[in-house]
Amino acid sequence: MRPCTSRSRPARGGGVAGAVLHLGANLAKDKYFGEAAEPLQRLFVFGGAAGVAFFFVLSGFIIVLIHGREIGHPAQLWPYLRKRLARIYPTYLLTMVTAPKSP
């Protein structure tokens, strides 16, 4: 994995902070706020397709942010694809081998 650079550090920090705040809010809302937290919760919950769309937009932004200077250089395509395949395929293969078979 690439080391965290000064350009990607704020994005990672923001993502981690968001996840921690979301988890903390979900754990504390019933205990401290009860039903009063429902309108607030609706502000922060992305439903179904909106969450998927947001994920793809964010992923594309991060990929362009990290690999933007390689765009337009065809010689960089194969090393990039090899690295992506080496990162994604083992997890995919492990999931396919260990997942329960559907009837």
- Given a contact cutoff of 8 angstroms between Cβ atoms, the answer to whether 37 and 24 are in contact is no
Residue 4: pLDDT over 90: no
pLDDT interval class at 86 (50, 70, 90): very high
pLDDT interval class at 6 (50, 70, 90): low
Give the pLDDT confidence score for residue 49 in this predicted structure.
Answer: 67
- Cut 0.85: pTM above it: no
Q: What is the CA radius of gyration of the chain?
A: 19
**If you average pLDDT over each of 23-32, 44-53, 91-100, which comes out highest?**
91-100
Element (H, E) at 31: helix 9-32
Helices (H) and strands (E) in the chain, counts: 4, 0
Give the pLDDT confidence score for residue 16 in this predicted structure.
Answer: 77
